[in-house]
Amino acid sequence: MDSSQTSFSEDSSLSWENVGGGVQRKILVYNADLMMVKVAFEASSIGAIHQHVHTQITYVESGVFEATVDGQQRVLRAGDTFLASSNVWHGVVCQEAGVLVDVFNPMREDFV
């Protein structure tokens, strides 16, 4: 399914992409302006500190994560969120296996 061409996305019909280090991602839906991605982490996996031009909002679906945004750290659990504005350094360390849902504006062309 080409997620950019539909208004609906069924999780069960999408496949995981192994991105290494105990991390997998699944692109849920996107257009040129917006993208939603599910990212699964094994315990102790790391989403390395990085930055990009995209504004990112992350929702913790499950698990426990130590998140760093612009030099500030917080432990986040299911239902918690963070915002990383454009070019702000951010990353996570997974303390208990879980899933993050990332939303990007504009969409991440490097993911497709």
Task: Work out the number of other CB atoms within 10 angstroms of the CB of residue 27.
Answer: 20
φ, ψ of residue 3 to 5 degrees: the values are -60, -20
Domains annotated for the chain, with CATH where assigned, are: 21-111 (2.60.120.10)
| 109 vs 105: CA distance, rounded Å | 11
Query: Residue 10: its pLDDT value, please?
Result: 93
| 73 vs 87: CA distance, rounded Å | 17
Please write the tens of the pLDDT for every residue from 13-63: 999 999 999 999 999 999 999 999 999 999 999 999 999 999 999 999 999
| 73 vs 107: CA distance, rounded Å | 26
Please write the tens of the pLDDT for every residue from 48-104: 999 999 999 999 999 999 999 999 999 999 999 999 999 999 999 999 999 999 999
CB 69 within 8 A of CB 34: no
